[in-house]
Amino acid sequence: MTRAFINLAGAVGIRSQRINLWGSAPHVVAEAELGPRDLVVVDCQYPPSIKDLERLDQVILRPEWDDYYTLNLRRLHISWLVSRVKMEMGPFTYWTENPHALKALLWFGFCLVVLGIRFGRDLLRYLLRRRGWVHISEVHALKRMTK
């Protein structure tokens, strides 16, 4: 639900990102930018735990939650090292909120690497031959000499 809200809000020009609230009742909400420096928390679940549009610093004061992050630090097993990590909204946020786009980008990059290896070798040979650094023997001349 939250990811759907983020993508729909992005379609109408509202920048938003997912916020993971951690505590006795873990919850996922969206933070939407309604204006410059005007960020509010939007709860897309039914029934909502946060009924009104509130700022994140007000929400984190509730007893249900004691930590928040935009990157899932618990999945990375580094929550003991850092807490309350909130990334600024930008291009990286887009890729983390659209896993299918991220997967497509990674596959596209993999294909570029494979093609680069395949055709880079031929290009390197051509350039080395052209510069005179590599001399290719005449295969036909060698075959005639052996006959």
Joined together, the tokens standing for residue 21 give 């609230």
Report the C-alpha gap between 139 and 28 in whole angstroms. 68
Kindly report, residue by residue over 20-65, the tens digit of the pLDDT.
888 898 899 999 998 888 899 999 888 888 888 889 888 888 999 8
The answer to whether 93 touches 49, Cβ cutoff 8 Å, is no
pLDDT one-digit tens code per residue, 106-133 = 999 999 999 999 999 889 888 888 887 7
Can you give the pLDDT at residue 12? Answer: 94
Length of the chain: 147
Predicted TM-score (pTM) of the model is 0.57
Extended strands (E) in the chain: 16-23, 27-35, 38-42, 65-69
61, 68, 67, 63: which is closest to 30 by C-alpha?
A: 68
The residue ranges of every structural domain in the chain are 2-97, 103-146
